[in-house]
Copies of this chain bind each other. A is one copy, B any other.
């Protein structure tokens, strides 16, 4: 993951870098650092373990300059520490480098080129800056030394490099990791995500893998791998700075849970017509209809949403769907059908694990669609088609509204294909109405926050673990609910197919173990209740979340009935709040859980 910023040609470089890094903190917060200079005489390198706030407290008033680069880190090689924080400098301190990505052949490079160098830290990045220095010492100009290093490096990267002997330039290059250049009047900026530099500009320039860019205050030169100049149009970022503020909410996560009804209504407005029909680019519908099997590729929360998507598409569009973990699919590809169609789910549109799959499916010539929250993101640019989630920026690391938005948009897609195929169930499915009903029910559930807070005290205050169980879509929601609990409260939760628990894992049930049963599916409700009885017999503390029509008096949380195909959109909401309150009660940071980063741009 990691986030990169840079600026050249503005006097308050320090301030711009820090503001940018704050916006990028979602990409990692193990350590951070900046390098600021204005000429050869005065330059500053400040690094800190921990968050941007920790870094900021170390920056004195004298730290000023007009050129600089900054970095916030999610550790891959080497522990989170000040020593391993970026920017990294070469042995003679001439070169300063920030990096997002993973260098795969760093040990080989060390062996071959850097036997005589004394490296300070344990990171792959340090190797690169030493390698550049090595080639500069051999007599190459900075640009050429950088190019030479790039030709040797294997792996993923976004780099920003400053040569302190000539700080009129920032050298930039990328492969697989995201990087943008923001264009200003007499200044330019660089950033991993447009959000970081929105306060400076809304015009951005894309960089393509393999290119090197020479960024000066008043000029930008792009070169391809062969050294040819490349010309490219800039674009305007469609982001509203207000969306990024959390307003009166104590945490982004709570704001984003609360955003969900609005997001549902926005999806209805954007993707349906007054007459109830759905609006999806006809070409997308035709391509999916023409395929014999849909492959949903995703990670984490998006993967969990993918399973609900499978249920929706199979029921309405009658096309078989497989759901795969990106990191597995890429290196262990199953036998594919003759005419596959790929759907990539990624909130950020930057997930490296998913992107490596997309690169392969593109090479194989298969059609693809990305569902993402970020227009212009890598997965969006590289897939044939994009549908936006319209959830607004999601800042909390633990995803909530992007999950429900993914399900809602997948439902729209499923209906579009179903309608085009004349599927009766699909045609009868008034999705605009159903999603509007759900938006209101979501509000009702969110209004019951206080009840959920209290129940969480009773069930989760001192447990080491917890289970969510359900069958069918309730199983899929159980997977997401337990992931949420793990991510932020650090309670070791597992989501289980209710019938599978007894085949081994039931051994973990002790007196008082919280088991949450999700019951929204009529066909399997009795079976899940049977499985709840089994764990209750072993002492489990059962917590039942059920739909009104399937509820029993003793159930802890009863949700209003909604359309049977869309129950995950309501049943997941209390589980988001359960995770939220469990985390608050344990005193952890809801928005920035340890070890995690929002956008996972390494494999």
> Which A381-404 residues have C-beta < 8 A from chain B?
398
Q: How far apart are the CA atoms of A509 and B492 in the complex, in Å? A: 10
Inside 8 A of A492's CB, which chain B residues have their CB? 464-465, 492, 494, 508
CB pair A471 B537 closer than 8 Å: no
CB distance from A525 to the nearest CB of B (A): 10
CB pair B486 A507 closer than 8 Å: yes
CB pair B506 A332 closer than 8 Å: no
Q: How far apart are the CA atoms of A507 and B335 in the complex, in Å? A: 33
Q: How far apart are the CA atoms of A90 and B482 in the complex, in Å? A: 44
CB distance from A326 to the nearest CB of B (A): 7
CB distance from A296 to the nearest CB of B (A): 13
Q: How far apart are the CA atoms of A79 and B537 in the complex, in Å? A: 4
> Which A472-501 residues have C-beta < 8 A from chain B?
472, 475, 483, 486-488, 490, 492, 494, 497-500
Copies of the protein in its oligomer? 2
Q: How far apart are the CA atoms of A593 and B498 in the complex, in Å? A: 20
CB pair A483 B500 closer than 8 Å: no
Inside 8 A of A104's CB, which chain B residues have their CB? 526, 530
Interface mask (A182-226 → B, CB under 8 Å = 1, otherwise 0):
000000000000000000000000000000000000000000000
Nearest-neighbor residue (CB-CB) of A503 within chain B: B300
CB pair A335 B353 closer than 8 Å: no
In the complex, A320 has a CB within 8 A of chain B: yes
CB distance from A415 to the nearest CB of B (A): 17
> Which A457-474 residues have C-beta < 8 A from chain B?
464-465, 471-472
Chain A, interface size: which category? 35 or more
Inside 8 A of A595's CB, which chain B residues have their CB? 506-507, 509, 538
Inside 8 A of A471's CB, which chain B residues have their CB? 327-328, 331-332
CB distance from A334 to the nearest CB of B (A): 6
CB pair A334 B353 closer than 8 Å: no
In the complex, A12 has a CB within 8 A of chain B: no
CB pair A603 B77 closer than 8 Å: no
In the complex, A319 has a CB within 8 A of chain B: yes
Inside 8 A of A464's CB, which chain B residues have their CB? 464, 492
CB pair B507 A328 closer than 8 Å: no
Interface mask (A510-531 → B, CB under 8 Å = 1, otherwise 0):
0000000000000110110010
In the complex, A337 has a CB within 8 A of chain B: yes
> Which A53-81 residues have C-beta < 8 A from chain B?
75-80
Nearest-neighbor residue (CB-CB) of A536 within chain B: B79
CB distance from A465 to the nearest CB of B (A): 5
Q: How far apart are the CA atoms of A497 and B328 in the complex, in Å? A: 7
In the complex, A534 has a CB within 8 A of chain B: yes
CB pair B300 A500 closer than 8 Å: yes
CB pair B500 A530 closer than 8 Å: no
- Listed from nearest, the 5 A-B pairs whose CB atoms lie closest are A327-B499, A300-B503, A75-B537, A332-B472, A320-B335
Beyond the given pairs A75-B537, A321-B335, A331-B527, 10 more chain A to chain B contacts, judged by CB atoms under 8 angstroms and listed by A's residue number, are A79-B538, A300-B500, A314-B335, A320-B334, A327-B498, A328-B500, A487-B504, A487-B505, A507-B595, A538-B594
